[in-house]
Amino acid sequence: MSDSTPAPDALAPRRDFIRELVADDVATGRFGRAPATRFPPEPNGFLHMGHAKSICLNFGIAREFGGTCNLRFDDTNPFTEDVKYVEAIKRDVQWLGFQWDNEFYASDYFEKLYEIAELLVTKGKAYVDDQSEDDIRTNRGTVTSAGTPSPWRNRSVDENLDLLRRMKAGEFADGTRVLRAKIDMAHPNMIMRDPLLLRIRRGAHHYRRGTEWNIFPLYDFAHGLSDAVEGITRSLCTLEFKDNRDIYDWLVAEAGFTNPPTQIEFARLELDYTVLSKRKLLRLVNEGHVSGWDDPRMPTIAGLRRRGVRPEAIRTFAETIGVARKDARVEISIFEHAVRNDLNMEVPRVLAVLKPLKVVLTNYPDGQVEMLEAQDYPHDVPKTGTRQVPFSRELFIDADDFMENPPKKFFRLSPGNEVRLRFGYIIKCEDVVKDAAGNITELRCTYDPETKSGGANSDRKVKGTIQWVSAAQALTCEVRLYDRLFSAPNPDDVPEGQDFISTLNPESLVVIPNAKVEPSVAAHPVGSRFQFERVGYFYAEPEDSRPGRLVFNRIVGLRDSWAKEIKKG
Ligand code: ATP
Ligand code: MG
């Protein structure tokens, strides 16, 4: 699979503040081991472009510095996780071009975490609190005032150990007790005010551990210690975890890890016209706004793959945006640009007509079919190739390339005017045929036999060149025009009482049931990508295409049509 080898530029060492730190780790031997990173998704949804950024960063650093990167499922919540998400995540990471050194599961560390819980209790660094989680939250105080210590804060080690063991054994109901770290109820960092470590979920069914466990670790308790168990050096996470760094450091130190990993935060990816949150994406799926996690409009890796985007484009995009210390929204046009650039260099051009309008060449011999030579790539692309395209008396052109009463600078076809057919001849519109309702049904044109492309007399120039297909030989196909899923740059920026759902773009999918494409595409396997000249980049959808009935997804247009919209006002 050639997709799995990143382009050389994706391997070139880039310098950002994280890579500077890692380079420094290597130079100073700070951790006494090779750089070790991990990508730690929770298997509660499909991966999205934000995860892709994190994947490129974690796996990229391991690769560049000769280190390792683990795939670790952060699966500590029995209510939301599922093996179907584990499978999807593995497939998506590999499709992006990365292979993990180890596949780990935080749920495999439950025993180890429990051992550490007992150790903390024994050291007087953790206690069982009988307050409800609500009361604990209330008693935590505010940024300006200290919290109120729990009445259970000074339980003896023996009592705490006994209660912890009974929590584990399933003696207590959910919500009746929690294990908390004993740190400082007046700590300036609120997270350090005796954070929760374990909570009761008696008899809960975990997708890997079954009903074996009655207590489950909270994120802070599981995350850093999982990193430490795996010998991670730098634990990369997004900025909203900045305040969690203190508890991370406290826990790995109290648990006795020497040379423990340290956390570095970077900016979350936020993309215009998109939401990047599994919770919100799950809503789109559950409420039926999209056909599933892999709907081609979804910003998920599975959706992008199904749309026809290549992994190279996603990696290039991740590289382009880099990593920063401050959150900032990224313009979707930067992503679309990466997709377009990638396809421009890779995919053959073909002729296709999305809105077929019949053209009859009245002076072309009836029944004659002539094969025209067509270039697969423009001259500024390193790839080359030619194919034969049938030409005959009856053609289709795109209805948008004809205007009965054109404005001044309309260089396509109009009554009495000429246009060049790509790889073919110059034609002239002589007559417009309409039905009783006044709709144009056919154009009667003449062609100039002296003007064959590449022929001796081909130097006669006209201003416009348009695509076309021969009516008898063209393949009829379904074309799915995908567009941005949201029509607002920031879908979350809505008036009170509304949410991101209200900014869905009603035209994010337009299906054209009877588009026409030149017959040469049949020689390519489904899953191939093309540029439809003058239209955009398209993907022969492997799941829904049938022999004789291809389905094409629009991956991206040839230019940013939204930029034009904005200029038009
Ligand atoms: P979501 O809010 O979509 O559920 P998450 O952070 O809860 O995202 P996880 O599965 O916990 O999802 O994330 C796995 C890794 O991916 C984490 O290290 C997280 O920081 C990173 N990640 C998630 N979303 C983004 C994003 N938008 N930009 C960069 N990294 C992200
Ligand atoms: Mg999460």
Single pTM value for the model: 0.93
Pairwise CA distance, residues 282 & 288, whole Å: 10
- Pocket (CB within 6 angstroms of ligand 1): 40-42, 50-51, 53-54, 74, 237-238, 268-269, 276-279
Pairwise CA distance, residues 361 & 445, whole Å: 5
Q: Which residue's CA is minimally distant from atom 25 of ligand 1?
A: 50
> For residue 561, what are the contacts with CB-CB under 8 A and spacing of at least 6?
none
Distance, CA 71 to ligand 2 centroid (Å)? 15
Give the closest residue to 175 by CA, choosing from 207, 210, 209, 134: 134
Q: Could you say which ligand is closest to the alpha carbon of residue 301?
A: 1
What does the DSSP 8-state code read for residue 451?
A: G
Distance, CA 219 to ligand 1 centroid (Å)? 13
Instruction: Give residue 20's Cα distance to chain centre.
Output: 27
Q: Which residue's CA is minimally distant from atom 9 of ligand 1?
A: 41
Distance, CA 42 to ligand 2 centroid (Å)? 6
> For residue 101, what are the contacts with CB-CB under 8 A and spacing of at least 6?
62, 68, 69, 70
CA 66 to each of CA 59, 63, 69, 267, 450: distance values in angstroms, whole numbers, following the listed order: 10, 5, 10, 25, 63
Pairwise CA distance, residues 280 & 42, whole Å: 15
Amino acid at residue number 328: A
349-350 and 328-330 beta bridge pairing: unpaired
Q: Could you say which ligand is closest to the alpha carbon of residue 275?
A: 1
Phi, psi of 277 (to 5 degrees): -155, 125
Taking a C-beta distance cutoff of 8 angstroms, is the pair 276, 49 a contact?
yes
Q: Which two tokens stand for residue 159?
A: 């009592």
Distance, CA 6 to ligand 1 centroid (Å)? 23
Q: Could you say which ligand is closest to the alpha carbon of residue 282?
A: 1
Taking a C-beta distance cutoff of 8 angstroms, is the pair 533, 350 a contact?
yes
Q: Could you say which ligand is closest to the alpha carbon of residue 238?
A: 1
pLDDT of 301-339, one tens digit each? Answer: 999 999 999 999 999 999 999 898 888 899 999 999 999
The answer to whether residue 463 is catalytic is no
CA angle at 142 for the pair 139 and 146, rounded to the nearest 5°? 70
pLDDT of 93-119, one tens digit each? Answer: 999 999 999 999 999 999 999 999 999
The answer to whether residue 42 is catalytic is yes
CA angle at 469 for the pair 465 and 474, rounded to the nearest 5°? 165
Give the closest residue to 76 by CA, choosing from 209, 228, 249: 209
Per-residue model confidence (pLDDT) at position 459: 74
Pocket test for ligand 1, best of 81, 223, 238 (most atoms within 8 A of CB): 238
Per-residue model confidence (pLDDT) at position 2: 40
Amino acid at residue number 482: Y
Pairwise CA distance, residues 172 & 178, whole Å: 10
Pairwise CA distance, residues 266 & 60, whole Å: 15
Taking a C-beta distance cutoff of 8 angstroms, is the pair 353, 469 a contact?
yes
Phi, psi of 388 (to 5 degrees): -105, 135
Per-residue model confidence (pLDDT) at position 325: 85
Per-residue pLDDT of the chain (569 residues; tens, 9 = 90+): 344 444 444 445 568 999 999 999 999 999 999 999 999 999 999 999 999 999 999 999 999 999 999 999 999 999 999 999 999 999 999 999 999 999 999 999 999 999 999 999 999 999 999 999 999 999 999 999 999 999 999 999 999 999 999 999 999 999 999 999 999 999 999 999 999 999 999 999 999 999 999 999 999 999 999 999 999 999 999 999 999 999 999 999 999 999 999 999 999 999 999 999 999 999 999 999 999 999 999 999 999 999 999 999 999 999 999 898 888 899 999 999 999 999 999 999 999 999 999 999 999 999 999 999 999 999 999 999 999 999 999 999 999 999 999 999 999 999 999 999 999 999 999 999 999 999 999 999 999 999 998 877 667 889 999 999 999 999 999 999 999 999 999 999 999 999 999 999 999 999 999 999 999 999 999 999 999 999 999 999 999 998 789 999 999 999 877 665 555 43
Nearest atom, ligand 1, residue 241 CA: 20
Nearest atom, ligand 1, residue 58 CA: 18
Q: Which residue's CA is minimally distant from atom 27 of ligand 1?
A: 50
Q: Which residue's CA is minimally distant from atom 4 of ligand 1?
A: 278
Distance, CA 42 to ligand 1 centroid (Å)? 8
Per-residue model confidence (pLDDT) at position 566: 52
Q: Which residue's CA is minimally distant from atom 24 of ligand 1?
A: 50
Taking the C-alpha atoms of 298, 301, 303 and 305 in order, what is their torsion angle to the nearest 10 degrees?
150
The answer to whether residue 518 is catalytic is no
Q: Which of 245, 278, 420, 452 is catalytic?
A: 278
Taking a C-beta distance cutoff of 8 angstroms, is the pair 526, 546 a contact?
no
Q: Which of 91, 125, 242, 268 is catalytic?
A: 268
Distance, CA 289 to ligand 2 centroid (Å)? 23
Distance, CA 348 to ligand 1 centroid (Å)? 36
Q: What is the 3-state secondary structure (H, E, C) of 402-442?
A: ECCCCCCCCCCECECCEEEECCCCEEEEEEEEECCCCCEEE
Q: Which two tokens stand for residue 566?
A: 């904005």
End-to-end CA distance of the chain: 45
Q: Which of 33, 42, 199, 534 is catalytic?
A: 42
Nearest atom, ligand 1, residue 279 CA: 4
What does the DSSP 8-state code read for residue 546?
A: B
What is the sign of the dihedral through the CA atoms of 218, 221, 225 and 227? positive
